[in-house]
């Protein structure tokens, strides 16, 4: 008996598949149908109640026992809109070499803001202590 040649079968299936692919790619798409009518927006729901105030996280008291930094900013933006902002900074990086700062460039003048707070107890011999 003769061995069946699968290579010829695979080639024939491949050629037939390519032929079907090309013959089914003819013609143009039809015209899109008309858009539907936009519906009316529903009524906005009521705002939910505020949640309960959370508890201080682990280590909060230790990290804030020597105070915090209160930041009060006020001024006028470049588009002549006045602003005020208040924040209490209780946490900061504990590595003295952290270079976390903000730079603002207005009319060619650069304003640099760099605020740090040490976390260790006074007179500690670590690199981030305060005396």
pLDDT tens digits along 89-108: 665 555 555 555 566 666 77
- What pLDDT score does 28 carry? 74
H or E element in which residue 121 lies: none
Does residue 74 lie within any of the structural domains? yes
Q: Is residue 66 part of a domain?
A: yes
Alpha-carbon distance 97 to 116, whole Å? 10
pLDDT at 14 over 90: yes
Whether residue 126 lies inside any domain: the answer is no
Q: Which helix (H) or strand (E) holds 87?
A: strand 82-89
Quick check: is 25 in a domain? no
Would you say residue 83 lies in a domain?
A: yes
**Inside any domain, residue 65:** yes
> Residue 1: pLDDT band by 50, 70, 90 thresholds?
low
pLDDT beyond 50 at 57: yes
pTM of the prediction?
A: 0.28
Does residue 118 belong to any structural domain of this protein?
no
Structural domain of 95: 61-113
75 found inside a domain: yes
79, pLDDT greater than 80:
yes
Proportion of the chain in helix, strand, coil states, percent, rounded to 5: 20, 20, 65
Domains in the chain, number = 1
């Amino acid at each position: 008996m003769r061995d069946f040649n699968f290579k010829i079968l695979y080639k024939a299936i491949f050629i037939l598949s390519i032929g079907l692919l090309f013959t089914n790619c003819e013609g143009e798409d039809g015209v899109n149908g008309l858009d539907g009518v936009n519906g009316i927006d529903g009524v906005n729901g009521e705002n939910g109640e505020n949640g309960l105030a959370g508890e201080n996280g682990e280590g909060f008291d230790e990290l804030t026992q020597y105070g915090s930094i209160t930041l009060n900013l006020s001024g006028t933006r470049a588009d002549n809109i006045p602003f005020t902002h208040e924040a209490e900074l209780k946490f900061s990086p504990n590595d003295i070499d952290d270079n976390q700062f903000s730079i603002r460039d207005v009319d060619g003048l650069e304003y640099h803001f760099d605020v740090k707070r040490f976390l260790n107890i006074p007179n500690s011999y670590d690199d981030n202590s305060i005396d």
